[in-house]
Amino acid sequence: MKNIRSLRYALAAATVLGFGGNAFALDGNDLVAKINAGLQSAKLTPASVEVSGSTVTLKGVKVQPLEGASEGGAIGDVVLNNVEEDGSGGYTIEKAAFTNDGVTLTASDIALNNISIPGDVSKPSLDSMIFYETGHVGPAKIVKGGAEVLTLASTDFSMSKMDDNAGLEFEFGATGLKADLSKVEDPKAKETLEKIKLTSLDGEIHMAGSWETASGTIDLDSINVDFKDVGALSLAFNLSGYTLELVKSLQEQMKALESNPNKEAAQQAAGLAMMGLAQQLTFNSASISFDDASITSRVLDYVGSEQGMSGRQFAQSLKGMVPIMVAQLNIPDLQNAITEAVNTYLDDPKNLTISAEPEKGVPFPQIIGAAMGAPQTLPKVLGVTVTANDAD
């Protein structure tokens, strides 16, 4: 578990270096102080700092959350290569590499490439944020009891700026994700996995999206998790109001939480502040869909056999119960659509999709109000639809 936490902190360090913001100087203590001044949710604590020409090495680095945990998670050494001034008080780094060895978990080639460190972080603009072009992690693996239970061939992520610094476009991909489920220790869970022929996972994850800073529109085109002989789960959403000003406000709240000695009071105040900031957000659309790759029929066969019937017979019995179960949700606007979609899917499992597309954006306070006062109206407020076996 210690080594698993180590990789998690290493990835966290890569993320905060990518999304924080501050100036940088080739002076050991000043270097660390300025990086920490711009990080949103954590700070780096190296055991020592070595500077050699344009290379800066942070030895024995720990990452400590701003909430004030007494000890940080060790991520090993961080090497910053080809650090240069950019002429405006900021710096560029060609590559940041993280090294971490472990027995339970190992990972190699953890790096961020072509990093830009701004000289002025006071203004809400993309130029005041640390930026990187590409990053990579892997291969990585988790070993338990002498056997590999999870392996990952590689993870790659990238960012690019839109024309006129209007926003960011980003992509993420993890390939060669394999898990050995035969090592599950719970006897009942292991038996179930064996009967539905799910003793291993082999798949990949991809994500793509953009952030337009003026309107604060985050358009997550897709998050796709696809496993062989199981299926693909896809998610997408679009919201607006997440502006650079909001980002700066969130950073200030995190720093206020760190500096307040009364952590309980600070967290309560931060919670109220976050609720206020959330009022600036607007929901535009979202969807979640599942494309079956035989897992549904295997589950129906297994559950049916437990009740002395075939998978087809069990599916038919489910179809009879769906209207009753949906009626208990008290969402009349969706009752017929859910029943029809589930019945269609059970007859021929292909895909199932839930979408929310209101005619115009819905402010978050309106959604919260509907959820608290009249939850049965939410499907209509958000424009929710449920369909099955849609054509590609």
Phi, psi for residue 315 in degrees, rounded to 5: -60, -40
SS3 100: strand
Q: What pLDDT shows up at residue 352?
A: 97
Question: Last residue of a domain, which of 137, 156, 175?
Answer: 137
Indicate the DSSP class of residue 163.
Answer: G
Residue holding tokens 């535009």?
284
pLDDT tens per residue, range 15-30: 444 444 333 446 767 6
Closest to 161 (Cα-Cα) out of 119, 206, 116, 123:
116
- Residue 343: alpha-carbon gap to chain centroid: 32
Question: Last residue of a domain, which of 114, 137, 160?
Answer: 137
Q: Is residue 239 part of a domain?
A: no
- Low pLDDT (below 50) residues in the chain: 1-12, 14-25, 68-70, 102-103
Query: Cβ(139)–Cβ(156) under 8 Å?
Result: no
Q: Name the pTM for this structure.
A: 0.76
Q: What pLDDT shows up at residue 72?
A: 57
The first and second tokens of residue 296, run together, are 């549904």
Number of structural domains in the chain: 2
Residue range(s) defining the domain that contains residue 367? 288-388
Q: What pLDDT shows up at residue 99?
A: 65
The first and second tokens of residue 26, run together, are 């080739």
Q: Is residue 83 part of a domain?
A: yes
Contacts of 64 (CB under 8 A, 6+ apart): 42, 43, 45, 71, 72, 73
Q: What pLDDT shows up at residue 46?
A: 85
Q: Is residue 28 part of a domain?
A: yes
Q: What pLDDT shows up at residue 119?
A: 67
Q: What pLDDT shows up at residue 216?
A: 94
Q: What pLDDT shows up at residue 58?
A: 84
Question: What is the rounded CA–CA span in Å between residue 364 and residue 58?
Answer: 42
Q: Is residue 365 part of a domain?
A: yes
SS3 175: strand
Question: Last residue of a domain, which of 105, 137, 169?
Answer: 137
Q: What pLDDT shows up at residue 24?
A: 40
Q: Is residue 184 part of a domain?
A: no
Q: What pLDDT shows up at residue 127?
A: 78
Q: Is residue 230 part of a domain?
A: no
Q: What pLDDT shows up at residue 232?
A: 97
Q: What pLDDT shows up at residue 184?
A: 84
Q: Is residue 195 part of a domain?
A: no
Query: Cβ(214)–Cβ(223) under 8 Å?
Result: no
Q: Is residue 39 part of a domain?
A: yes
The first and second tokens of residue 260, run together, are 């307040």
